[in-house]
Structure 1
Amino acid sequence: MPLHDLQIAMVEMIHSHTSDAADNMDLNRLDLSAEERTWLHALKASKGFKVTCDVQKWWRKARLQIAAPLTLRLLDRLQLQALVEEYMRATPCRSLYFVPEAMSFKTFICEHTKDPLLHALTMFESALKAIHEYRLSPVSPMEPSSNRCRNFSVTVAPMSQLIEFPAAPEKLLCALMLNQPLPNAEGPHPVLVAPGVRKYWRAATTMEREVLHQCAAPQPLDSLLEKGPHKIRVVERLISERALRLV
C-alpha cells in the first residue's frame, strides 16, 4: 500500500469535488488496500475534507486573479462573471502554476463565448503571461540578409502571437483600468506579442501581418523574399524581436 498512491487518490478526490469530474474519478488503477479505500470513502463526508476543498477553490480563484486580471475585468463589464464558476466546474485543476491556468482559462473562454473583444484580450493576456514566466534565450545574431541564412526557412517563433483586436487595444486597456465605456469595434487592430518587443507587445503593420500569416508554417527564406524583396527589413526586424525564427 504505497503512500504515493494514497496521496494521488486524495488529490484526485479534491480536484473532482471542486469540478464536474466527480463521476469520472477512477481510483481502481491505484494500489490501495481495502482499509484505505474505506477510509477515503468516509473522508468525503468529513468537515475537514470540505474545508480543504473550499481552500483549494479559493486559491484557484486567486490564481485566476493573478493570471488573468484584465480578462476578469472585462467579463465583469460584459456581465459574464458566471463563466468563471462554469470554468472551475468544467475544468479540473491540472497545475498549480499561473501560465497553465491562464492557458486553460483562455481556451475555455474562446470556446464558450463569441465576443471578439473578449477573445482578443484573453489571448493577449495569456500570451504576455507566458512570455513573462518563460524567458527565452537570446536570439541568434544571424540576419536574413546574411549569405549563411539563404538556405534557411523562417517560421513564427515560440511565444510569438499576432492578435487581431476589433478595437484599439490602448482604448480597451484604458477603459478597463479607468472604468470608462468600452470602445466600439472599428476594424482590425493587429497586435504583435513577442519576447523581443519592448514591453512584449506593439501594433503590427500591414506588411508584418502579411509576413506572419505567411510564416505560420515554415517558408523558405529565398522564396519568401522573391515574392517581395522589400520584405527583407520586415523579416529582419521580426527575427530580431523573436517574432520569427530561422529553421
Structure 2
Amino acid sequence: MPLHDLQIAMVEMIHSHTSACPEKLDCKRLDLNEAERAWLHELSESKGFQVTCDVQKWWRKARLQIAAPLTLRLLERLQLQALVEEYICATPCRSLYFVPEAMAFKTFICEHTADPLLQALTVFECALKAIHEYRLSPVSPMETNSNRCRNFSVVIAPMSQLVEFPAAPEKLLCALILNQPLPTVDGAHPVLVGPGVKKYWRAATAMEKGVLHQCATPQSLDSLLEKGPHNIRVVERLVSERALRLV
C-alpha cells in the first residue's frame, strides 16, 4: 500500500464524512488494490474514525474561537451561530494554521449573510489576525522635498486594507465585549487596518479613504496630486504607516 495514496484516501474520507453533502470515496485513481480498498471501507465505519472526524471539527471550531472570537460572539447575538456548523460542513479543512481558517471563514460569512455589522467585523477581525502573523518589512519614508519622488508610484501595501463599518467600530466592540446593546447602523465609518498602524487599526479620514481607493492599483504621485494638491501629505502618512508602499 503506497503511503502517499493511503494518506490521500484517508484525508478525502475525513472530508467526505464531515461534509454536508458526503460523497462516496472514489479510489480508482489511487494505487490501491481491492484488499486495501476494503480495509479503507471498514475503517470508515469504525468508531475510531468517527472520533477522528469529530476531533477535526472540534479543532477547527477552536481555531475560529481564537482567530475570530468577536465574530463568533456577534453571530450568537444575531442568533446565527448555526453558520459555524454550516461552515465546517461546507468547507473542507485545507490547513492547520489559524489565518487560512480565518480567511475561509470570512469568505463564507460574507457570502452567506447580508448583515453589514457582521460582514465588517469578520473582515476586520480576519485582517487583524493576519497582521499578527505578518513579519514587518522595513519601508523607507518618502523624501518629500526630493523631485525624484515624483518618479515613484504608490499602491496599497500587503496586509493593509480599508474596512467600512456601518456603525462606530468602538461602539460595536464595546457592545460585544461588555454585552451591551448593539449600535444602530448610522452611516459609513472607514477604518484603516495595517501592520504599521499603531495598535494595527484606526479611523480613516475621508481624504485617506479616497487615496486608498485610488491606490488599489499603482498610482503615480503626479496623478494623485492632480486629483488633490493635499494628497501628498496623506500619502506620506500612509506610507509611514505601511498602509501604502512605493513601487
TM-score in terms of structure 1 length: 0.95
User: Any runs of at least 4 consecutive aligned residues in structure 1 with deviations exceeding 4 A, and if so which?
Assistant: none
Report the counterpart of residue 108 of structure 1 in structure 2.
Answer: 108
Report the counterpart of residue 221 of structure 1 in structure 2.
Answer: 221
Q: How many Å apart are 1:14 and its aligned residue?
A: 1.1
- C-alpha distance in 1 between matches for 2:104 and 2:211: 28
Q: How many Å apart are 1:154 and its aligned residue?
A: 1.1
- C-alpha distance in 2 between matches for 1:13 and 1:114: 33
Gap regions ≥5 residues in structure 2:
none
Report the counterpart of residue 161 of structure 2 in structure 1.
Answer: 161
> Which SS does the other structure have where 2:191 is aligned?
strand
Q: How many Å apart are 1:149 and its aligned residue?
A: 2.6
Report the counterpart of residue 50 of structure 1 in structure 2.
Answer: 50
- C-alpha distance in 1 between matches for 2:195 and 2:143: 17
Could you tell which deviates more after superposition, 146-155 or 36-45? 146-155
Report the counterpart of residue 91 of structure 1 in structure 2.
Answer: 91
Report the counterpart of residue 136 of structure 1 in structure 2.
Answer: 136
Say if 1:210 and 1:83 are closer, same or farther in 2 by CA, change over 3 A: same
1:1-247 paired onto structure 2 within 5 Å: 1-20=1-20, 22-23=22-23, 25-143=25-143, 145-247=145-247
Could you tell which deviates more after superposition, 60-69 or 141-150? 141-150
Say if 1:3 and 1:241 are closer, same or farther in 2 by CA, change over 3 A: same
Say if 1:96 and 1:21 are closer, same or farther in 2 by CA, change over 3 A: farther
- C-alpha distance in 1 between matches for 2:21 and 2:240: 45
> Which SS does the other structure have where 1:202 is aligned?
strand
> Which SS does the other structure have where 1:150 is aligned?
helix
- C-alpha distance in 2 between matches for 1:192 and 1:175: 21
Gap regions ≥5 residues in structure 1:
none
Q: How many Å apart are 1:147 and its aligned residue?
A: 2.8
- C-alpha distance in 2 between matches for 1:192 and 1:50: 44
TM-score in terms of structure 2 length: 0.95
> Which SS does the other structure have where 2:140 is aligned?
coil
- C-alpha distance in 1 between matches for 2:24 and 2:113: 26
Could you tell which deviates more after superposition, 151-160 or 13-22? 13-22
- The answer to whether the Cα contact below 8 Å between 2:74 and 2:118 also exists between their aligned partners in 1 is yes
- The answer to whether the Cα contact below 8 Å between 2:221 and 2:232 also exists between their aligned partners in 1 is no
- The answer to whether the Cα contact below 8 Å between 2:142 and 2:236 also exists between their aligned partners in 1 is no
Q: Percent identity?
A: 83
- C-alpha distance in 1 between matches for 2:38 and 2:236: 64
Say if 1:144 and 1:111 are closer, same or farther in 2 by CA, change over 3 A: farther
| Counterpart amino acid of residue 153 in structure 1 | S
Say if 1:66 and 1:145 are closer, same or farther in 2 by CA, change over 3 A: farther
> Which SS does the other structure have where 2:151 is aligned?
coil
- C-alpha distance in 1 between matches for 2:203 and 2:50: 48
Could you tell which deviates more after superposition, 107-116 or 140-149? 140-149
Q: How many Å apart are 1:9 and its aligned residue?
A: 1.2
Say if 1:174 and 1:219 are closer, same or farther in 2 by CA, change over 3 A: same
- C-alpha distance in 2 between matches for 1:152 and 1:64: 40
The C-alpha deviation readout for 1:4-45, integer Å capped at 9, x for no partner, is 221121122112211235327543332222221111111111
Could you tell which deviates more after superposition, 53-62 or 105-114? 53-62
